[in-house]
């Protein structure tokens, strides 16, 4: 250690800036051998860096969502005067965001959409498995808009409508709370509507076995019956390998059931291969009950999972699939 009356450049041997800084910190804090503490801190940071990365990567989705919100505000401000003369004020904004999200899906996940020919020209209810985040559905919605020029409304959990700044994003994409009457009305107008019956519970507490968690939910089936539309099952391969949750911790499940807020931490954001598969439609049958249609839909979705997902899910395998021969996009 340099003497207290010596400068960092004094003496026949030059002293490095790091040694000088260590000396200054030691003098300032009064801690002897502070270099040992600093070495330990550097080692600890190195060890914990991978853990920090896997918990911070999902934040990229949040950043993209708020970037989308900012772009919509800019779009709205620039087009306010055209609103009275436009058939669909948000059409340009949706196209802009579709380009943003489709680009992210292609680059980060090599995103592919298969089976889009199964989506009818008219109305239809798309029922999908809910991953830890809805990123795969956003990629699907963007690709559908770009390729088919069709919008797909969605039903979201009530907490989404309380997120700060999300109002304009939900309004632009026609996201709804999900009252049966509102859903039936949207379908009767000839549109597409998407819903994940498992919702937040399935997102947080399903696992690498891709367990469908619907409970007793069958309202979506009644919506399809009342609107007289087909149900189209949809599943995204490796969706749980991209982002995972700590849903296996029992106390977090109990807490969620008590407050009904997504308090379970997420980790991941890995650039795994994502492929969305749209299954064959389940046609409307006038004599089918909601219970029967729910079971048919669940079986169809389970069949998609078993056909396209290797179980249990594996993050490394999902990453390696990025380098395998790509299936042709629809």
HEC per residue, 201-213: HHHHHCCCCCCCC
Tell me if 106 sits within 8 A of 140, measured CB to CB: no
Residue among 250, 231, 200, 235 at smallest CA distance from 313: 235
Measure Cα distances from 235 to 21, 113, 238, 265, 276 in Å: 56, 10, 9, 23, 6
| Distance in angstroms (rounded) separating the CA atoms of residues 178 and 211 | 23
Q: Is 103 helix (H, G, I), strand (E, B) or coil?
A: helix
The token pair at 179 is 């009252």
Residue for token pair 């977090």: 252
Cβ count near 190 (within 10 Å) = 11
E strand or H helix at 152, and its extent?
strand 152-154
- Residue 308: active-site member: no
Phi-psi category of residue 281: left, alpha or beta, with phi > 0 → left and psi -120 to 50 → alpha = beta
Going by the DSSP 8-state scheme, the letter that residue 128 receives in this structure is E
CB contact set of 81 (below 8 Å; sequence gap of 6+): none
| Distance in angstroms (rounded) separating the CA atoms of residues 208 and 247 | 11
Annotated catalytic residue within 130, 158, 308, 326? 130
Catalytic residues: 130
């Amino acid at each position: 250690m340099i003497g207290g009356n010596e400068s960092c450049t004094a003496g026949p041997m030059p002293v490095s800036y790091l040694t000088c800084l260590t000396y200054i910190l030691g003098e300032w804090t009064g801690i002897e051998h502070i270099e040992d503490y600093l070495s330990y801190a550097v080692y600890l940071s190195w060890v914990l860096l991978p853990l920090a990365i896997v918990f911070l990567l999902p934040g990229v989705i949040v950043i993209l969502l708020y970037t989308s919100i900012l772009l919509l505000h800019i779009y709205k401000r620039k087009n306010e005067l055209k609103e009275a003369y436009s058939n669909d004020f948000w059409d340009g904004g949706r196209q802009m965001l579709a380009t943003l999200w489709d680009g992210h899906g292609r680059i980060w996940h090599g995103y592919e959409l298969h089976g889009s020919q199964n989506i009818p020209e008219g109305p239809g209810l798309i029922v999908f498995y809910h991953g830890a985040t809805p990123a795969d559905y956003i990629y699907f919605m963007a690709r559908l808009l770009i390729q088919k020029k069709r919008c797909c409304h969605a039903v979201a959990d009530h907490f989404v409508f309380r997120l700060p700044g999300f109002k304009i994003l939900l309004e632009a994409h026609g996201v709804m709370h999900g009252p049966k009457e509102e859903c039936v009305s949207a379908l009767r107008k000839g549109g597409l509507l998407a819903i994940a019956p498992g919702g937040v519970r399935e997102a947080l507490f399903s696992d690498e076995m891709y367990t469908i968690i619907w409970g007793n939910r069958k309202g979506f089936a009644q919506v399809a019956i009342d609107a007289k539309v087909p149900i189209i099952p949809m599943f995204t391969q490796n969706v749980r390998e991209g982002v995972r949750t700590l849903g296996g911790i029992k106390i977090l499940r109990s807490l969620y059931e008590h407050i009904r807020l997504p308090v379970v931490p997420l980790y991941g954001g890995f650039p795994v291969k994502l492929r969305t598969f749209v299954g064959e439609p389940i046609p409307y049958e006038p004599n089918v009950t909601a219970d029967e249609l729910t079971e048919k839909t669940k079986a169809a979705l389970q069949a998609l999972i078993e056909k396209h997902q290797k179980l249990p899910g594996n993050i490394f395998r999902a990453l390696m699939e990025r380098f395998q021969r790509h299936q042709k996009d629809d």
